[in-house]
Amino acid sequence: MPLFIKDDSTAALVGELATLRGISKQDAVKLAVQAELNRIAETTPLRERFAALRAAYPLPPPTGLVADKAFFDELSGEPE
């Protein structure tokens, strides 16, 4: 089935890729589409990346201490 590119800027980009790679425009389109499909397939969703980080570096258990202004003042050595 033929694919007609009607947008001049897209056709120019395909032509540039074809020239740089020394391939036909058809192969340039195939190469670009395959590269994008591979990139999408290899991408791990942000939710999964955060879940892996949370599993690898869990938060410490709660201490019950209140982190208010007095707490931070004490940490920085400021007088009350």
Average pLDDT (3-31) is: 94
The confidence score (pLDDT) of residue 71 equals: 82
Does 79 have pLDDT greater than 80?
no
Q: What is the pLDDT of residue 68?
A: 87
State residue 70's pLDDT score.
Answer: 85
Please, which residues have CB within 8 angstroms of residue 55's CB and are 6 or more apart in sequence?
none
Residues in the chain: 80
Give the list of residues 6+ apart from residue 28 with CB closer than 8 angstroms, or none.
Answer: 14, 15, 17, 18, 21
Which residue blocks in the chain are alpha helix, DSSP H? 8-21, 25-42, 46-56, 69-76
**22-62 confidence digits (pLDDT tens):** 999 999 999 999 999 999 888 889 899 899 999 999 999 99
Cβ(32)–Cβ(17) under 8 Å?
yes
DSSP 8-state assignment for residue 43: P
Top pLDDT among 73 and 57 is at 57
pLDDT at residue 80 in the model: 63
